[in-house]
Structure 1
Amino acid sequence: MTLNQLEYFCAVCRYHSITRAANELYVSQPTISVAIRNLENEFHIRLFNHGKNQLALTPEGEAFYKKADQLLHYSQDLYSEFSLTARGNESIRLGIPPILSTVFFPEIMLAFQEKTHIPLQLFEYGSVRACKMVESEELDLAIANLDFYNVDKFHYQVMKTDSHVYCVSKTNPLAKRDSITFEMLADQPSILFNTDSVQNRTIMSRFHAAEITPNIIMYSSQISTARKYILEDIAGAFFYSSVPLSCDDIIKIPIEPEITSRIGIIWKKGVYVRDSVTRFIEFAKTYQL
C-alpha cells in the first residue's frame, strides 16, 4: 500500500468516476485502475461494485475509504508539523517528475543539504501537475520540463537542455537504425510518460502533426516498468536521452527531426520567496549537471 494508491482511491470515491479522478490528478485511467486493483488484491476485499454507468462503494469499500481518508489527512498533518528541523530551517516543498528525479537526484539534493543544511521535502508529480501546484502555492518550487505553453506565468531557470530518444531492445529490428521518424513508429507498440507530463504532450503533438494515431500501450512514470517491457521486446519507449536505463541491452535511438526540451526550475511570480527557497534557486543556477 502506498499513499499514491490511497490518493487515487479516495479521488474516485469523491468524484464517483475513474475518468474524473484521472483528469483531476493528471494521471491515466489505467494508472488509477491498477492502483485500486492492487489495493483490493493486497487486502483481499472488493472496493467497488461496477454497474452500468455507475460506480458504487461496497460496504467494505466505505469502511476502507473512511480509514484511507483519515490516513491521508494524517500524513499531510505530519508533513506540516515536522517541516522544521532542529536548526529552525523551514523545509522547501519541491515537486519533481519521477523520470527527471533520476537525472537530478539525489546528487543535487545531497549537495544542497550538505552546503546549507536546509531540508527538502520532495513530491513526485508530472511537470503539468507540479506547475499547477506551484501556481496554487502548494509547492514552493518544481523541477520540470519548461516547454509548456504558459511557462512565462512563472519565474524559471533553465538547468539543462535534453533531447528525446526512442528506446528499444537490441533484438528489435529498429535497433539497427541510426535515427527514427514518427512515421516509422505508426504501428510500433510504445510507452509514454503519464498524462501529467509535458513530454507526453510534446510527443503526442508530433504524432498528430504527422496525422498518425500512435499505438500507445502504456502510460507510466516508472523506469523499471518501461525497461521490463523494452527488454521483453513488448514495446519501445520515449525517454530523455540523459535518463540512465542501466542496461546495455537497451538501444537509445535519436528521433528525426530532433526534439529537444528545456529542463529547469520554476517558482511563482508575484509572491514572497522565503530565504531558504531563494538559496536553493541560487544553488541550482550554479550546480553543474
Structure 2
Amino acid sequence: MLFRQLEYLVALARERHFARAAQSCYVSQPALSEAIRKLEDELDVLLVRRGRTYGGLTPEGERIVLWAQRILADRDALKDEVDALRTGLSGRLRIGSVPTASGAVSLLTAPFCTAHPLVTVEVTADLRSEELLRRLRNFEIDAGITYLSQGISENFQTVALYEERYVLLTNAADELSRRPTATWAEASHLPLCLLTASMQGRRVLDEVFAGVGLQPMPRVETDSVASLFAHVRTAQWASIVPYAWLHVFGVPHGMQAVPLVEPDHTAPIGLVTAAREPGSVMARALLETARRTDTAAVLESLPHHAGS
C-alpha cells in the first residue's frame, strides 16, 4: 500500500492536477485522493494544499516527493536486479538526449540491445540540458546524453563519448560550398537558420562567435536539428550543425557540409547517469556498453568534407 500511495503522490506532483494524476495511475480520482489522505495521516503531516482545485504541494510535501521518487526508483532497481540475476536483464531503459546529440544515440542503443535482447528502450531526444539533468535527479530517466562541460556535478557519473564539432551546411551552389573549409566569420554573413537561443547547442555556437567578436543574427530559429536540414534544403538559408548528424542524414542532395575553422572548436558529449550505489541496473549496463563502444571512432570515420 505504501508504494501505491507514494506513486500517487509523485503522479500528482508531476501532473499538478488530481484528475490527470489519477488517469496516469489508472485509478479513479477519489481513490487517488483517499490514498494520499491516508499517507498524510500515516506521516501526520499535510502534503497537499486543497481547495476547489489542486493548490500545489506544501513545503513538507515537496520534501516527501523527493523521498518518494528515491524509494520508488530503488524499488524498481531492486526488481530489475533480481530479474537480471534470474533471467538476464529485462525491462525498459529510458534515455534522454539533448537534440544536438540525439543523432548519436543509436551508436549506443544498437550494441546495448544486441547484448540485452529482452530490454526495450525509450529515447526522449528533445530535452534541454537542464531538463535532462532534472529528470535524472528525479529518476524519470536512467541515463542521458548531453554536454559534459556545463552543470555536471559530483551527483552524476559520466563517460565521454565524442567531441562535437561543427560544419557549415549550405546549398551546393553557394561559393563557400566549393571550399575545403569555411571560417566562422564567413558563416556569420550568411542567412542563417540556427537552434533557438535557449538551447545549450545554440549557446555553444554563440560562445564561439563571441570569441571572434561576432554575434549571429539568424533569420530562422528552431528547436529541431532535422528542421535545420529542412530549411537548408529550400536553398534560402545556411546552418551550422553538429558533425555527428551526418551519421544520420549524410549530406542530402543539393547541400554541402563544410568544416568550420578559425577557430577549430569542439564540445565534449558524454553519457551521464546518477552517481548512486548500487543504482539502476539499466544505467550500469548502458555505462558498460558506452565504455566498450568507440563512438568517436565511428563518427571520425565519416568523410571530412561531403556533399552531392
TM-score tier by shorter-chain length is 0.5 to 0.7
Alpha-carbon distance between aligned partners in 2 of 1:209 and 1:99, rounded to the nearest angstrom: 21
Q: 1:211-267 CA deviation, whole Å, 9 max, x = no partner?
A: 322121233343442223212222111111131233142211211111112222001
Q: 1:16-60 CA deviation, whole Å, 9 max, x = no partner?
A: xxxxxxxxxxxxxxxxxxxxxxxxxxxxxxxxxxxxxxxxxxxxx
How far did 1:198 drift?
Answer: 2.7
Aligned to 2:259: 254
Note closer, same or farther for the CA distance 1:189–1:113 as it changes in structure 2 (3 Å cut): same
- Note if contact 1:127-1:196 (Cα within 8 Å) is conserved in structure 2: no
Note closer, same or farther for the CA distance 1:266–1:196 as it changes in structure 2 (3 Å cut): farther
From 174, 177, 180, the equivalent of 1:175 is 177
Amino acid at match of 2:119: I
Report the TM-score when normalising by structure 1. Answer: 0.64
SS of 1:91's partner is strand
- Note if contact 1:92-1:276 (Cα within 8 Å) is conserved in structure 2: yes
How far did 1:177 drift?
Answer: 2.7
Aligned to 1:268: 274
Alpha-carbon distance between aligned partners in 1 of 2:201 and 2:124, rounded to the nearest angstrom: 19
Cα root mean square deviation, aligned? 3.3
SS of 1:235's partner is coil
- Note if contact 2:193-2:221 (Cα within 8 Å) is conserved in structure 1: yes
Alpha-carbon distance between aligned partners in 1 of 2:293 and 2:25, rounded to the nearest angstrom: 31
Within 5 Å, give how 1:189-204 maps onto structure 2.
Answer: 189-195=191-197, 197-204=199-206
Aligned to 1:207: 209
Alpha-carbon distance between aligned partners in 2 of 1:99 and 1:220, rounded to the nearest angstrom: 12
Within 5 Å, give how 1:99-248 maps onto structure 2.
Answer: 99-105=100-106, 108-116=108-116, 117-124=118-125, 125-150=127-152, 153-195=155-197, 197-244=199-246, 245-246=249-250, 247-248=252-253
SS of 1:262's partner is strand
Alpha-carbon distance between aligned partners in 1 of 2:95 and 2:164, rounded to the nearest angstrom: 21
Alpha-carbon distance between aligned partners in 2 of 1:153 and 1:77, rounded to the nearest angstrom: 33
Q: 1:137-195 CA deviation, whole Å, 9 max, x = no partner?
A: 32221011223254555210012223211111111222123322232233322222344
Alpha-carbon distance between aligned partners in 1 of 2:233 and 2:267, rounded to the nearest angstrom: 26
Alpha-carbon distance between aligned partners in 2 of 1:128 and 1:139, rounded to the nearest angstrom: 13
| Structure 2 unaligned residues grouped into runs of 5+ | 1-15, 28-71, 296-308
From 282, 287, 294, the equivalent of 1:281 is 287
SS of 2:219's partner is strand
Amino acid at match of 2:104: V
Amino acid at match of 2:265: I
Alpha-carbon distance between aligned partners in 1 of 2:292 and 2:139, rounded to the nearest angstrom: 25
The total of aligned residue pairs comes to 218
**Bigger radius of gyration, 1 or 2?**
2
